[in-house]
Amino acid sequence: MRENIIQKRKISAAICEEWLERDKVLSGRQKDAIRQYVRMHTDKPEELYQIYHAMIRGENYKAETLEVLMEEGQPVIKIAGNEIRAAFEQLNDFVQKLILLTERTLPLGSVVEVDIRELKLETEKPVSSIKAVIVDRFMKKETEKQYVPYCGIIYPFGDSKKQLFFTEQAIHTVIHYGYTDRQEDAYVALIKREIIKKGYSSYSFAEAEDDKIRMLQSDINL
């Protein structure tokens, strides 16, 4: 497991470096702070989500190593003492990229407990979660710039016609971690590079996300 984390950090750092090399706005000190943050927070995007939601609400928020301040209605992000100022849309995109770089991607075959309440799914029985086996990731329609991080089939039924689409935030527990190797690492790195380069966005950050995700799985009866 330790070796796996080290490998993930190397991959995240490499993708981050490519992104920062293309950037023409951030200063050298700001880029150094971002590099350090990504190295230290692989698989730990929690405070980034807190910063993101504070920005959306227009509130000040101080996490352990990040801070967002609202000045005249515009957010300012502080990372390792470095202020990053830009238009709201640019900072929004900046935080989303950091989340993508630091957030885990579970391999195929992983079994997870998905929070039904997070997806706003209606159920016939009073349950708060279901188990799902991850069978696909990073699904996106050709005509859209948003992707769904995970697709699963409901355990133990395995009905491929009833697929469950969900985001990282809907995962309550990882019950079984699927098979992973260097090919898996290379694939995830390739997809994340593509997402950053083309400016795609996860449904985790979509407006009215609940309605869109629910529409995708409207034929599921639980």
pLDDT in tens, 168-200: 989 999 999 999 999 999 999 999 999 999 999
Secondary structure tally for the chain: helices H, strands E: 7, 10
Could you tell me the CA-to-CA distances from 32 to 9, 28, 55, 71, 213 in Å, in that order? 15, 6, 23, 24, 37
Task: Please report the pLDDT score of residue 159 as a whole number.
Answer: 84
How confident is the model over 34-66, as pLDDT tens digits?
A: 999 999 888 889 999 999 999 999 999 999 889
Task: Please report the pLDDT score of residue 97 as a whole number.
Answer: 95
- Cα dihedral angle (102, 189, 11, 108), rounded to 10 degrees? 70
Task: Please report the pLDDT score of residue 160 as a whole number.
Answer: 81
Residue 113 corresponds to which amino acid? E
Task: Please report the pLDDT score of residue 116 as a whole number.
Answer: 79
pTM above 0.75, yes or no: yes
Task: Please report the pLDDT score of residue 207 as a whole number.
Answer: 65
Q: Give the residue from 2, 38, 43 showing the smallest Cα distance to 18.
A: 38
Place of tokens 């989340």: 99
Task: Please report the pLDDT score of residue 53 as a whole number.
Answer: 93
3-state secondary structure of 76: strand
Helix (H) or strand (E) segment spanning residue 32: helix 28-40
Task: Please report the pLDDT score of residue 222 as a whole number.
Answer: 46
Q: How far apart, in whole angstroms, are the C-alpha atoms of residue 105 and residue 127?
A: 26
Distance from the Cα of residue 183 to its chain's centroid: 21
Q: How far apart, in whole angstroms, are the C-alpha atoms of residue 96 and residue 47?
A: 12
Which segments in the chain show pLDDT lower than 50? Answer: 215, 218, 220-222
User: Which pairs with CB-CB distance under 8 Å and at least 24 residues apart come from 179-188?
Assistant: 179/107, 179/108, 179/109, 180/4, 180/107, 184/107, 185/7, 185/8, 185/11, 188/11, 188/105
